[in-house]
């Protein structure tokens, strides 16, 4: 089942939850004060089990965009990761305008769930192999004021339902 959505305005957390429900994907969300960095979110670890994510929205010189979703404490070598993800050149961070245009989120709220807004398939999603060792993956539900927990395999099902085939690769150092 592939979900087609209009690209008029970005989907909201409620839209995301409705999609997950329609796919029979169990999910659990905890609201919290906005967090903009991994360091700010550490206090939530005792309350939210599973793998916590860090997301890097990057592009190559040919304007191919990638979202790298890795475990929160992982290191990604931006000088060499292009060789792993299939980029045409070294990567740099994508501009906030493109982040909003393609994934429907602002910096600080970047998430693999942004695939729901990438209706034109402008972004290649890359899930780090180490992160995918966790049974539960935690991502922002399109806002940094909450964390949504979802099963690893269900995250893959969600991505496929949005028309994306994420790459599961070892992108961390």
Closest CA to 124 of 154, 91, 148, 149: 91
Please report the pLDDT score of residue 38 as a whole number.
67
pLDDT in tens, 97-122: 999 999 999 998 999 999 999 999 99
Q: Please tell me whether the overall predicted TM-score, pTM, comes out greater than 0.85 for this model.
A: yes
Q: How far is Cα 25 from Cα 20, in angstroms, rounded to an integer? A: 5
Q: How far is Cα 118 from Cα 60, in angstroms, rounded to an integer? A: 18
pLDDT band at 173 (very low <50, low <70, confident <90, very high): confident
Closest CA to 118 of 105, 132, 131: 105
How many of the other CB atoms lie within 10 Å of CB of 114? Answer: 28
pLDDT in tens, 129-155: 999 999 999 999 999 999 999 999 999
Q: Which helix (H) or strand (E) holds 149?
A: strand 146-151
Give, in words, the CATH class of 13-169.
alpha beta
Q: How far is Cα 5 from Cα 116, in angstroms, rounded to an integer? A: 8
Q: Which helix (H) or strand (E) holds 97?
A: helix 96-103
| For the chain, domain boundaries | 13-169
Please report the pLDDT score of residue 48 as a whole number.
85
């Amino acid at each position: 089942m592939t979900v087609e959505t209009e690209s008029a305005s970005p989907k909201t957390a409620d839209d995301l939850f409705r999609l997950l429900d329609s796919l029979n994907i169990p999910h659990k969300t905890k609201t919290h004060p906005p967090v903009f960095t991994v360091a700010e979110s550490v206090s939530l670890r005792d309350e939210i089990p599973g793998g916590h994510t860090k997301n890097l929205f990057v592009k190559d010189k040919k304007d191919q965009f990638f979202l790298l979703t890795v475990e929160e404490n992982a290191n990604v070598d931006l000088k060499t990761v292009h060789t792993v993800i299939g980029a045409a050149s070294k990567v740099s961070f994508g501009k906030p305008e493109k982040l909003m245009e393609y994934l429907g989120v602002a910096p600080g709220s970047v998430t693999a769930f942004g695939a729901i807004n990438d209706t034109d398939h402008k972004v290649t999603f890359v899930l780090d192999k180490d992160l995918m060792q966790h049974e539960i993956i935690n991502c922002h539900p399109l806002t940094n004021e909450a964390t949504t927990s979802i099963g690893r395999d269900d995250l893959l099902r969600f991505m496929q339902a949005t028309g994306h085939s994420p790459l599961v690769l070892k992108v961390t150092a």
